[in-house]
Structure 1
Protein backbone atom coordinates (compact mmCIF):
# COMPACT_ATOMS: atom_id res chain seq x y z
CA UNK A 1 0.00 0.00 0.00
CA UNK A 2 2.84 2.43 0.77
CA UNK A 3 4.30 1.78 -2.68
CA UNK A 4 0.91 2.35 -4.32
CA UNK A 5 0.36 5.67 -2.58
CA UNK A 6 3.90 6.79 -3.36
CA UNK A 7 3.23 6.13 -7.06
CA UNK A 8 0.02 8.14 -6.92
CA UNK A 9 1.86 11.03 -5.26
CA UNK A 10 4.32 11.04 -8.14
CA UNK A 11 1.59 11.01 -10.76
CA UNK A 12 -0.45 13.89 -9.43
CA UNK A 13 -0.15 17.37 -8.14
CA UNK A 14 -3.70 18.03 -6.80
CA UNK A 15 -7.72 18.04 -6.66
CA UNK A 16 -11.19 17.29 -7.92
CA UNK A 17 -14.67 17.17 -6.52
CA UNK A 18 -16.73 14.00 -6.77
CA UNK A 19 -18.09 13.48 -10.25
CA UNK A 20 -21.80 12.93 -9.54
CA UNK A 21 -24.03 10.00 -10.48
CA UNK A 22 -23.51 9.89 -14.24
CA UNK A 23 -21.71 6.85 -15.68
CA UNK A 24 -18.68 7.20 -17.91
CA UNK A 25 -19.11 6.21 -21.54
CA UNK A 26 -17.70 2.84 -22.58
CA UNK A 27 -13.84 2.92 -22.73
CA UNK A 28 -13.75 6.60 -21.71
CA UNK A 29 -11.02 7.70 -19.28
CA UNK A 30 -11.31 10.83 -17.16
CA UNK A 31 -8.51 12.14 -14.91
CA UNK A 32 -8.19 15.19 -12.69
CA UNK A 33 -5.27 16.44 -10.65
CA UNK A 34 -4.62 19.69 -8.87
CA UNK A 35 -4.23 21.40 -5.52
CA UNK A 36 -4.23 24.61 -3.55
CA UNK A 37 -1.68 27.43 -3.64
CA UNK A 38 -1.24 30.95 -2.24
CA UNK A 39 -2.59 29.90 1.14
CA UNK A 40 -3.74 32.63 3.52
CA UNK A 41 -1.58 33.27 6.59
CA UNK A 42 -2.05 30.54 9.19
CA UNK A 43 -4.10 28.25 6.92
CA UNK A 44 -3.55 24.67 8.12
CA UNK A 45 -6.88 22.90 8.70
CA UNK A 46 -9.18 22.24 6.93
CA UNK A 47 -7.53 24.10 3.99
CA UNK A 48 -3.92 23.27 3.12
CA UNK A 49 -2.11 22.42 -0.12
CA UNK A 50 -4.27 19.25 -0.36
CA UNK A 51 -2.88 17.49 -3.47
CA UNK A 52 -5.34 15.02 -4.98
CA UNK A 53 -5.70 12.72 -7.97
CA UNK A 54 -8.96 11.31 -9.34
CA UNK A 55 -9.61 9.00 -12.29
CA UNK A 56 -12.57 7.17 -13.82
CA UNK A 57 -12.89 4.53 -16.55
CA UNK A 58 -16.14 3.57 -18.28
CA UNK A 59 -16.17 -0.22 -18.14
CA UNK A 60 -19.31 -0.87 -20.17
CA UNK A 61 -21.41 2.30 -20.21
CA UNK A 62 -23.05 1.44 -16.88
CA UNK A 63 -20.31 0.44 -14.44
CA UNK A 64 -17.56 3.02 -13.86
CA UNK A 65 -14.23 2.08 -12.25
CA UNK A 66 -12.07 4.66 -10.53
CA UNK A 67 -9.40 5.67 -8.05
CA UNK A 68 -9.53 8.55 -5.56
CA UNK A 69 -6.30 9.73 -3.89
CA UNK A 70 -6.08 12.60 -1.42
CA UNK A 71 -4.12 13.94 1.53
CA UNK A 72 -5.32 15.33 4.85
CA UNK A 73 -4.02 16.86 8.09
CA UNK A 74 -1.53 19.17 6.32
CA UNK A 75 -0.36 16.35 4.06
CA UNK A 76 0.52 14.02 6.92
CA UNK A 77 -2.20 11.50 6.09
CA UNK A 78 -2.46 9.95 2.62
CA UNK A 79 -5.33 7.78 1.43
CA UNK A 80 -6.24 6.00 -1.81
CA UNK A 81 -9.49 4.17 -2.62
CA UNK A 82 -10.27 2.08 -5.71
CA UNK A 83 -14.02 2.03 -6.40
CA UNK A 84 -16.78 0.90 -8.72
CA UNK A 85 -19.97 2.92 -9.26
CA UNK A 86 -23.21 1.84 -10.91
CA UNK A 87 -26.69 3.29 -11.55
CA UNK A 88 -29.54 2.78 -9.08
CA UNK A 89 -32.65 1.83 -11.02
CA UNK A 90 -33.72 3.40 -14.27
CA UNK A 91 -33.00 7.14 -14.59
CA UNK A 92 -36.22 9.15 -14.41
CA UNK A 93 -35.43 12.44 -16.13
CA UNK A 94 -34.12 14.76 -15.02
CA UNK A 95 -32.99 12.85 -11.87
CA UNK A 96 -30.19 10.26 -11.79
CA UNK A 97 -29.01 8.11 -8.88
CA UNK A 98 -25.92 5.94 -8.46
CA UNK A 99 -24.10 4.01 -5.76
CA UNK A 100 -20.44 3.15 -5.31
CA UNK A 101 -18.32 0.83 -3.20
CA UNK A 102 -14.54 0.96 -2.79
CA UNK A 103 -11.53 -0.54 -1.06
CA UNK A 104 -8.25 1.17 -0.26
CA UNK A 105 -5.81 2.19 2.42
CA UNK A 106 -4.58 5.08 4.54
CA UNK A 107 -1.05 5.73 5.88
CA UNK A 108 0.57 8.30 8.12
CA UNK A 109 3.99 8.50 9.81
CA UNK A 110 2.65 7.71 13.30
CA UNK A 111 0.44 4.67 12.65
CA UNK A 112 0.45 1.42 10.67
CA UNK A 113 -1.28 1.27 7.29
CA UNK A 114 -5.04 1.01 7.67
CA UNK A 115 -7.43 -0.73 5.28
CA UNK A 116 -10.45 1.30 4.18
CA UNK A 117 -13.91 0.35 2.98
CA UNK A 118 -16.06 3.07 1.42
CA UNK A 119 -19.65 3.18 0.22
CA UNK A 120 -21.77 6.02 -1.04
CA UNK A 121 -24.78 7.30 -2.94
CA UNK A 122 -24.95 10.17 -5.45
CA UNK A 123 -27.86 12.13 -6.90
CA UNK A 124 -27.83 14.44 -9.89
CA UNK A 125 -30.34 16.58 -11.75
CA UNK A 126 -29.89 18.15 -15.13
CA UNK A 127 -30.75 21.83 -15.50
CA UNK A 128 -30.94 24.17 -18.47
CA UNK A 129 -27.25 24.65 -19.31
CA UNK A 130 -26.14 23.06 -16.02
CA UNK A 131 -26.64 20.55 -13.24
CA UNK A 132 -27.07 19.92 -9.52
CA UNK A 133 -25.39 17.03 -7.68
CA UNK A 134 -25.08 15.65 -4.17
CA UNK A 135 -22.34 13.10 -3.42
CA UNK A 136 -22.41 11.31 -0.06
CA UNK A 137 -20.14 8.60 1.32
CA UNK A 138 -18.97 6.91 4.49
CA UNK A 139 -15.47 5.45 4.93
CA UNK A 140 -14.63 2.78 7.51
CA UNK A 141 -11.09 2.11 8.77
CA UNK A 142 -10.29 -1.34 10.17
CA UNK A 143 -7.95 0.06 12.86
CA UNK A 144 -9.83 3.02 14.33
CA UNK A 145 -13.17 1.31 13.48
CA UNK A 146 -14.93 4.60 12.81
CA UNK A 147 -17.31 5.51 9.98
CA UNK A 148 -16.32 8.94 8.64
CA UNK A 149 -19.03 10.61 6.58
CA UNK A 150 -18.64 13.09 3.72
CA UNK A 151 -21.11 15.09 1.60
CA UNK A 152 -20.46 17.45 -1.31
CA UNK A 153 -23.15 19.72 -2.81
CA UNK A 154 -22.44 20.97 -6.34
CA UNK A 155 -24.06 23.44 -8.74
CA UNK A 156 -22.68 23.91 -12.24
CA UNK A 157 -23.63 26.15 -15.16
CA UNK A 158 -22.28 26.22 -18.73
CA UNK A 159 -21.75 29.82 -19.80
CA UNK A 160 -20.66 28.73 -23.29
CA UNK A 161 -18.87 25.90 -25.06
CA UNK A 162 -15.61 27.18 -23.55
CA UNK A 163 -16.57 28.32 -20.06
CA UNK A 164 -18.31 26.69 -17.08
CA UNK A 165 -18.81 27.98 -13.55
CA UNK A 166 -19.07 25.59 -10.59
CA UNK A 167 -19.83 26.23 -6.94
CA UNK A 168 -19.43 23.53 -4.30
CA UNK A 169 -19.96 23.09 -0.57
CA UNK A 170 -17.75 20.33 0.89
CA UNK A 171 -18.56 18.87 4.31
CA UNK A 172 -17.37 15.88 6.28
CA UNK A 173 -15.72 14.36 9.33
CA UNK A 174 -11.95 14.70 9.75
CA UNK A 175 -9.50 12.13 11.09
CA UNK A 176 -9.34 13.85 14.49
CA UNK A 177 -13.11 13.40 14.90
CA UNK A 178 -13.66 17.02 13.93
CA UNK A 179 -16.13 18.20 11.32
CA UNK A 180 -15.30 20.53 8.45
CA UNK A 181 -17.03 22.67 5.84
CA UNK A 182 -15.47 24.45 2.86
CA UNK A 183 -16.81 26.39 -0.11
CA UNK A 184 -15.14 26.11 -3.51
CA UNK A 185 -16.29 28.38 -6.38
CA UNK A 186 -14.38 27.90 -9.64
CA UNK A 187 -14.26 28.90 -13.30
CA UNK A 188 -13.47 26.18 -15.85
CA UNK A 189 -11.96 26.84 -19.27
CA UNK A 190 -12.42 24.01 -21.79
CA UNK A 191 -9.30 24.11 -23.94
CA UNK A 192 -10.64 21.47 -26.31
CA UNK A 193 -12.60 18.21 -26.15
CA UNK A 194 -9.79 16.54 -24.18
CA UNK A 195 -8.46 19.13 -21.71
CA UNK A 196 -9.91 21.64 -19.28
CA UNK A 197 -8.40 23.93 -16.63
CA UNK A 198 -10.25 24.83 -13.43
CA UNK A 199 -9.18 27.88 -11.43
CA UNK A 200 -10.99 28.78 -8.26
CA UNK A 201 -10.78 29.50 -4.57
CA UNK A 202 -11.42 27.49 -1.43
CA UNK A 203 -12.53 29.01 1.87
CA UNK A 204 -12.88 27.11 5.15
CA UNK A 205 -16.02 27.74 7.18
CA UNK A 206 -14.63 25.79 10.14
CA UNK A 207 -11.23 25.28 11.82
CA UNK A 208 -8.82 28.17 11.26
CA UNK A 209 -11.06 29.48 8.44
CA UNK A 210 -8.11 29.62 6.07
CA UNK A 211 -8.35 30.14 2.32
CA UNK A 212 -6.38 29.47 -0.86
CA UNK A 213 -6.52 29.52 -4.62
CA UNK A 214 -7.16 26.19 -6.33
CA UNK A 215 -5.95 24.86 -9.69
CA UNK A 216 -7.01 21.61 -11.40
CA UNK A 217 -6.29 20.03 -14.77
CA UNK A 218 -8.90 17.68 -16.27
CA UNK A 219 -8.44 15.32 -19.20
CA UNK A 220 -10.83 13.06 -21.09
CA UNK A 221 -9.95 10.41 -23.66
CA UNK A 222 -11.51 7.32 -25.22
CA UNK A 223 -9.51 4.13 -25.68
CA UNK A 224 -9.95 2.96 -29.29
CA UNK A 225 -11.38 -0.50 -29.87
CA UNK A 226 -8.93 -2.60 -31.83
CA UNK A 227 -10.22 -5.48 -33.92
CA UNK A 228 -8.19 -8.26 -35.41
CA UNK A 229 -8.07 -8.27 -39.19
CA UNK A 230 -10.00 -11.04 -40.90
Structure 2
Protein backbone atom coordinates (compact mmCIF):
# COMPACT_ATOMS: atom_id res chain seq x y z
CA UNK A 1 0.00 0.00 0.00
CA UNK A 2 1.37 3.40 -0.97
CA UNK A 3 1.59 6.29 1.48
CA UNK A 4 -1.20 7.99 -0.45
CA UNK A 5 -3.43 4.96 0.13
CA UNK A 6 -2.44 4.90 3.80
CA UNK A 7 -3.34 8.58 4.17
CA UNK A 8 -6.72 8.03 2.55
CA UNK A 9 -7.37 5.01 4.76
CA UNK A 10 -6.51 7.07 7.83
CA UNK A 11 -9.03 9.68 6.73
CA UNK A 12 -11.73 7.12 6.05
CA UNK A 13 -11.67 5.87 9.62
CA UNK A 14 -13.00 9.26 10.74
CA UNK A 15 -16.06 9.25 8.45
CA UNK A 16 -19.33 10.15 10.15
CA UNK A 17 -22.41 9.27 8.13
CA UNK A 18 -24.40 12.14 9.61
CA UNK A 19 -21.76 14.63 8.48
CA UNK A 20 -21.53 13.00 5.06
CA UNK A 21 -25.21 13.75 4.48
CA UNK A 22 -25.10 17.22 6.05
CA UNK A 23 -21.94 18.68 4.49
CA UNK A 24 -23.21 18.84 0.86
CA UNK A 25 -26.09 21.01 2.04
CA UNK A 26 -23.91 23.14 4.30
CA UNK A 27 -21.33 23.76 1.57
CA UNK A 28 -23.97 24.24 -1.14
CA UNK A 29 -22.79 21.30 -3.26
CA UNK A 30 -26.20 20.90 -4.90
CA UNK A 31 -26.92 21.97 -8.53
CA UNK A 32 -26.70 25.74 -8.77
CA UNK A 33 -24.92 26.05 -5.42
CA UNK A 34 -21.50 27.62 -5.05
CA UNK A 35 -20.02 24.19 -4.25
CA UNK A 36 -21.86 22.38 -7.02
CA UNK A 37 -20.40 18.96 -7.82
CA UNK A 38 -18.20 18.64 -4.74
CA UNK A 39 -18.25 15.37 -2.82
CA UNK A 40 -17.91 14.85 0.92
CA UNK A 41 -16.83 11.91 3.05
CA UNK A 42 -18.12 13.40 6.29
CA UNK A 43 -14.94 14.09 8.30
CA UNK A 44 -14.54 16.81 10.90
CA UNK A 45 -11.73 19.35 10.49
CA UNK A 46 -9.84 18.40 13.70
CA UNK A 47 -9.56 14.84 12.46
CA UNK A 48 -8.34 15.99 9.05
CA UNK A 49 -5.66 18.01 10.83
CA UNK A 50 -4.57 14.91 12.76
CA UNK A 51 -4.03 13.01 9.54
CA UNK A 52 -2.28 15.97 7.90
CA UNK A 53 0.26 16.13 10.74
CA UNK A 54 1.02 12.43 10.31
CA UNK A 55 1.83 12.91 6.61
CA UNK A 56 3.40 16.37 6.78
CA UNK A 57 6.49 15.14 4.92
CA UNK A 58 4.56 14.21 1.77
CA UNK A 59 6.29 15.09 -1.49
CA UNK A 60 4.72 17.34 -4.11
CA UNK A 61 4.10 14.24 -6.24
CA UNK A 62 2.10 12.70 -3.42
CA UNK A 63 0.30 15.93 -2.65
CA UNK A 64 -0.59 16.41 -6.31
CA UNK A 65 -2.75 13.29 -6.11
CA UNK A 66 -4.49 14.29 -2.89
CA UNK A 67 -5.07 17.92 -3.79
CA UNK A 68 -6.98 16.99 -6.96
CA UNK A 69 -9.10 14.31 -5.25
CA UNK A 70 -12.84 14.37 -5.83
CA UNK A 71 -13.51 14.44 -2.09
CA UNK A 72 -13.43 17.74 -0.27
CA UNK A 73 -11.80 16.40 2.89
CA UNK A 74 -8.96 14.77 0.97
CA UNK A 75 -8.18 18.07 -0.77
CA UNK A 76 -8.36 19.81 2.60
CA UNK A 77 -5.86 17.33 4.05
CA UNK A 78 -3.43 18.08 1.22
CA UNK A 79 -3.85 21.81 1.81
CA UNK A 80 -3.28 21.43 5.56
CA UNK A 81 -0.07 19.53 4.80
CA UNK A 82 0.99 22.32 2.45
CA UNK A 83 0.39 24.94 5.17
CA UNK A 84 2.46 22.89 7.65
CA UNK A 85 5.29 22.64 5.15
CA UNK A 86 5.18 26.35 4.34
CA UNK A 87 5.24 27.35 8.01
CA UNK A 88 8.23 25.09 8.60
CA UNK A 89 10.16 26.15 5.48
CA UNK A 90 13.14 28.39 6.24
CA UNK A 91 14.65 28.74 2.78
CA UNK A 92 13.06 31.24 0.41
CA UNK A 93 13.45 28.76 -2.45
CA UNK A 94 11.36 26.17 -0.60
CA UNK A 95 8.69 28.73 0.30
CA UNK A 96 8.53 29.65 -3.39
CA UNK A 97 8.15 26.01 -4.45
CA UNK A 98 5.31 25.52 -1.99
CA UNK A 99 3.53 28.68 -3.08
CA UNK A 100 4.02 27.79 -6.75
CA UNK A 101 2.50 24.37 -6.08
CA UNK A 102 -0.43 26.04 -4.32
CA UNK A 103 -1.00 28.36 -7.28
CA UNK A 104 -0.65 25.51 -9.77
CA UNK A 105 -3.47 23.71 -7.95
CA UNK A 106 -5.53 26.78 -7.12
CA UNK A 107 -8.54 25.21 -8.84
CA UNK A 108 -8.69 22.74 -5.93
CA UNK A 109 -9.15 25.61 -3.45
CA UNK A 110 -12.79 25.76 -4.38
CA UNK A 111 -14.85 26.41 -1.28
CA UNK A 112 -14.77 29.03 1.44
CA UNK A 113 -13.27 26.77 4.11
CA UNK A 114 -10.43 25.72 1.81
CA UNK A 115 -9.75 29.36 0.99
CA UNK A 116 -9.96 30.58 4.58
CA UNK A 117 -7.54 27.98 5.95
CA UNK A 118 -4.83 28.57 3.34
CA UNK A 119 -4.93 31.90 1.48
CA UNK A 120 -3.32 34.06 4.16
CA UNK A 121 -1.04 31.29 5.40
CA UNK A 122 0.52 30.46 2.03
CA UNK A 123 -0.12 33.05 -0.69
CA UNK A 124 -0.49 36.03 1.62
CA UNK A 125 2.56 35.07 3.65
CA UNK A 126 4.70 34.42 0.58
CA UNK A 127 3.86 37.80 -0.95
CA UNK A 128 4.38 39.75 2.25
CA UNK A 129 7.79 41.07 1.22
CA UNK A 130 7.01 41.08 -2.52
CA UNK A 131 4.79 42.82 -5.03
CA UNK A 132 1.18 41.82 -4.47
CA UNK A 133 -0.12 42.34 -8.00
CA UNK A 134 -1.48 38.80 -8.14
CA UNK A 135 -3.97 39.59 -5.38
CA UNK A 136 -5.39 42.44 -7.47
CA UNK A 137 -5.49 40.17 -10.53
CA UNK A 138 -7.51 37.69 -8.50
CA UNK A 139 -9.76 40.40 -7.03
CA UNK A 140 -10.75 41.57 -10.52
CA UNK A 141 -10.99 38.09 -12.04
CA UNK A 142 -14.77 37.60 -11.71
CA UNK A 143 -14.04 34.13 -10.30
CA UNK A 144 -15.59 33.72 -6.85
CA UNK A 145 -12.88 31.65 -5.18
CA UNK A 146 -10.00 33.68 -6.59
CA UNK A 147 -11.69 36.84 -5.35
CA UNK A 148 -12.15 35.38 -1.89
CA UNK A 149 -8.51 34.24 -1.92
CA UNK A 150 -7.48 37.81 -2.75
CA UNK A 151 -9.22 39.39 0.23
CA UNK A 152 -8.48 36.60 2.73
CA UNK A 153 -4.78 36.66 1.79
CA UNK A 154 -4.61 40.18 3.21
CA UNK A 155 -5.33 38.79 6.69
CA UNK A 156 -1.61 38.05 6.87
CA UNK A 157 -0.82 41.76 6.46
CA UNK A 158 -3.60 42.93 8.75
CA UNK A 159 -2.09 40.84 11.52
CA UNK A 160 1.12 42.80 11.03
CA UNK A 161 -0.72 46.14 11.04
CA UNK A 162 -0.41 46.61 7.29
CA UNK A 163 -3.90 47.56 6.15
CA UNK A 164 -3.52 49.16 2.72
CA UNK A 165 -4.10 46.08 0.55
CA UNK A 166 -7.05 44.89 2.63
CA UNK A 167 -8.74 48.27 2.20
CA UNK A 168 -7.90 48.58 -1.51
CA UNK A 169 -9.19 45.09 -2.30
CA UNK A 170 -12.25 45.70 -0.13
CA UNK A 171 -13.01 48.71 -2.33
CA UNK A 172 -12.63 46.59 -5.49
CA UNK A 173 -15.07 44.00 -4.12
CA UNK A 174 -17.45 46.49 -2.53
CA UNK A 175 -20.34 45.88 -4.93
CA UNK A 176 -19.79 42.17 -5.47
CA UNK A 177 -23.03 40.23 -5.84
CA UNK A 178 -22.16 37.15 -3.77
CA UNK A 179 -22.67 37.04 -0.01
CA UNK A 180 -19.51 34.93 0.42
CA UNK A 181 -17.56 37.98 -0.71
CA UNK A 182 -19.68 40.31 1.42
CA UNK A 183 -18.85 38.19 4.47
CA UNK A 184 -15.15 37.92 3.63
CA UNK A 185 -14.72 41.66 3.05
CA UNK A 186 -16.70 42.49 6.17
CA UNK A 187 -14.58 40.07 8.16
CA UNK A 188 -11.32 41.65 6.97
CA UNK A 189 -12.64 45.15 7.67
CA UNK A 190 -13.55 44.01 11.17
CA UNK A 191 -10.02 42.64 11.62
CA UNK A 192 -8.62 46.02 10.58
CA UNK A 193 -10.86 47.70 13.13
CA UNK A 194 -9.83 45.29 15.86
CA UNK A 195 -6.31 46.66 15.49
CA UNK A 196 -6.88 50.19 14.24
CA UNK A 197 -10.46 51.41 14.58
CA UNK A 198 -9.80 54.84 13.00
CA UNK A 199 -8.56 53.16 9.77
CA UNK A 200 -11.68 51.03 9.53
CA UNK A 201 -13.97 53.96 10.29
CA UNK A 202 -12.19 56.11 7.73
CA UNK A 203 -13.15 53.49 5.14
CA UNK A 204 -16.66 52.91 6.47
CA UNK A 205 -17.62 56.59 6.60
CA UNK A 206 -17.08 56.76 2.84
CA UNK A 207 -18.71 53.46 1.87
CA UNK A 208 -21.01 52.20 4.63
CA UNK A 209 -24.20 53.53 3.05
CA UNK A 210 -23.55 51.83 -0.28
CA UNK A 211 -21.92 48.55 0.74
CA UNK A 212 -24.05 45.39 1.01
CA UNK A 213 -25.83 45.09 4.34
CA UNK A 214 -24.19 41.77 5.20
CA UNK A 215 -20.75 43.27 4.60
CA UNK A 216 -21.56 46.18 6.90
CA UNK A 217 -22.91 43.93 9.65
CA UNK A 218 -19.76 41.81 9.61
CA UNK A 219 -17.56 44.92 9.58
CA UNK A 220 -19.18 46.54 12.62
CA UNK A 221 -19.91 43.38 14.60
CA UNK A 222 -17.46 44.26 17.39
CA UNK A 223 -18.39 47.94 17.64
CA UNK A 224 -19.91 49.30 20.82
CA UNK A 225 -23.69 49.02 20.54
CA UNK A 226 -24.43 52.77 20.21
CA UNK A 227 -21.88 53.17 17.42
CA UNK A 228 -23.04 49.99 15.69
CA UNK A 229 -26.63 51.25 15.67
CA UNK A 230 -25.58 54.58 14.18
CA UNK A 231 -23.97 52.77 11.24
CA UNK A 232 -26.95 50.47 10.80
CA UNK A 233 -29.36 53.41 10.85
CA UNK A 234 -27.25 55.62 8.59
CA UNK A 235 -26.64 58.24 11.26
CA UNK A 236 -22.86 58.66 10.97
TM-score class, shorter: under 0.3
Which structure's CA Rg is the greater one? 2
More helix by share: 2
Under a length normalisation based on structure 1, what TM-score does the superposition of the two structures give?
Answer: 0.26
**TM-score, normalised by the number of residues in structure 2:** 0.26
Q: Which has the higher contact order (CA 8 A, sep 6+)?
A: 1
